[in-house]
Amino acid sequence: MTRTTAVAPPTPAAHLIAGEWVGEGTVERRNPARPDEVVALAPLGTAATVRDAVAAATDAQPAWRSKTGPERGAVLTRAAELLTARTVLVAHDLVREEGKTLTEATGEVTRAADVLRFFGAVCRNADGLTLPAGTPDTLVYTRREPLGVVGVVTPWNFPIAIPAWKIAPALAAGNAVVAKPAQLTTLSMQHLAQCLLDAGLPAGVLNLVLGAGSVVGDSLVSHPDVAAVSFTGSGTVGAGIHTAVSARMARVQLEMGGKNPLVVLDDADPVRAAAIAASGAFGLTGQACTATSRVIATPGIHDALVEELARVAQSYTPGDGLESGTRMGAVVSEAQFAADQRFVETARREGGEIVAGSGATDGLFHPAVVVTGVEPDHTIAQEEVFGPVLAVLRADDLDHATAIANGVRYGLTAGIVSNDMRAVHRFVDQVEAGVVKVNRPTSGLELNVPFGGTKESSTNTYREQGQSALDFYSWTKSVYLGVD
Ligand code: UN1
How far is it, in rounded angstroms, from Cα 79 to Cα 192? 8
Cα(225)–Cα(57) distance, integer angstroms: 10
Question: Three-class SS of residue 482?
Answer: strand
pLDDT, tens only, 15-37: 999 999 999 889 999 999 999 99
Looking at residue 7, its pLDDT comes to 57
Ligand 1, atom 7: nearest CA belongs to which residue? 289
Q: What is the pTM of this model?
A: 0.96
Rounded-to-10 torsion of CA 312, 318, 320, 321:
40
69-85 vs 102-122: helix crossing angle, rounded to 10: 160
**pLDDT attached to residue 327:** 96
Angle (CA) 332-338-344 rounded to 5° is 110
Q: Whose C-alpha lies nearest to ligand 1, atom 9? A: 290
Residue (of 168, 179, 154) closest to 447 by Cα position: 168
Which residues does 241 contact at the CB level (< 8 Å), separation at least 6? 153, 217, 221, 229, 231, 252, 254
pLDDT of residue 257 exceeding 70: yes
**Position in ligand 1 atom list of the atom nearest CA 443:** 2
Q: Candidates 98, 100, 162: which one to mutate for ligand 1, based on the most atoms within 8 Å of Cβ?
A: 162
Q: Is 187 left (phi over 0), alpha (psi -120 to 50) or beta?
A: alpha
pLDDT at 93 over 50: yes
412 lines ligand 1 (CB under 6 A): no
What pLDDT shows up at residue 1?
A: 43
- The overall average pLDDT reported for the chain is 96
- Looking at residue 433, its pLDDT comes to 98
Helices and strands in the chain: count of H runs, count of E runs: 15, 22
Please give the share of the chain, as a percent, with pLDDT higher than 70: 98
Q: Is the pLDDT of residue 11 over 80?
A: no
Q: Which atom of ligand 1 is nearest to the CA of 255?
A: 10
For the chain, helix, strand, coil in percent to 5 are: 40, 25, 35
Ligand 1 proximity of 289 Cβ (cutoff 6 Å): yes
Mutate to test the pocket of ligand 1, among 254, 289, 435 (most ligand atoms within 8 A of CB): 289
Q: What is the pLDDT of residues 47-64, one digit of tens each?
A: 999 999 999 999 999 999
For residue 461, pLDDT over 90 is answered with no
Q: Could you tell me the domains of the chain?
A: 11-256+458-481 (3.40.605.10), 260-438 (3.40.309.10)
Q: 438: which strand partners?
A: 416
Residue 243 identity = T
Query: Model confidence over 198-254: pLDDT tens digits?
Result: 999 999 999 999 999 999 999 999 999 999 999 999 999 999 999 999 999 999 999
CB of 423 closer than 8 Å to CB of 375: no
Answer whether 158 contacts ligand 1 (Cβ < 6 A): yes
pLDDT score, position 362: 85
Q: Which amino acid is at 92?
A: H
- Out of 76, 90, 229, 289, which one is annotated catalytic? 289
d(CA 170, CA 458): 19
Contact 324, 1 (CB under 8 A): yes
CB of 220 within 6 A of ligand 1: the answer is no
**CA–CA dist 484, 469 (Å, integer):** 38
- CA distance linking residue 41 with residue 24, whole number of Å: 8
Q: How would residue 258 be classed by pLDDT, with cut points 50, 70 and 90?
A: very high
pLDDT above 60 for 280: yes
Q: Does residue 157's CB lie within 6 angstroms of at least one atom of ligand 1? A: yes
Note the residue count of the chain.
484
Per-residue pLDDT at 180:
98
The secondary structure element, H or E, covering residue 294 is strand 292-297
Question: What's the CA-to-centroid distance between 233 and ligand 1, angstroms?
Answer: 10
268 lines ligand 1 (CB under 6 A): no
Calculate mean pLDDT across residues 164-186: 98
Instruction: Give yes or no: 289 in active site.
Output: yes
- What's the mean pLDDT in 368-388? 98
Residue 6: the pLDDT is: 52
Tell me which residue of 177, 87, 174, 161 sits closest to 122, measured CA to CA: 174
Residue 230: the pLDDT is: 98
Q: What is the pLDDT of residues 408-440, one digit of tens each?
A: 999 999 999 999 999 999 999 999 999 999 999
Q: Which atom of ligand 1 is nearest to the CA of 442?
A: 2
Cβ-contact 250, 228 below 8 angstroms: yes
Sheet harboring 20-22: ordered strands across? 20-22, 15-17, 206-208, 176-180, 149-153, 226-232, 251-255
> Any alpha helices (H) in 248-387, and if so which ranges?
270-282, 299-314, 334-349, 379-382
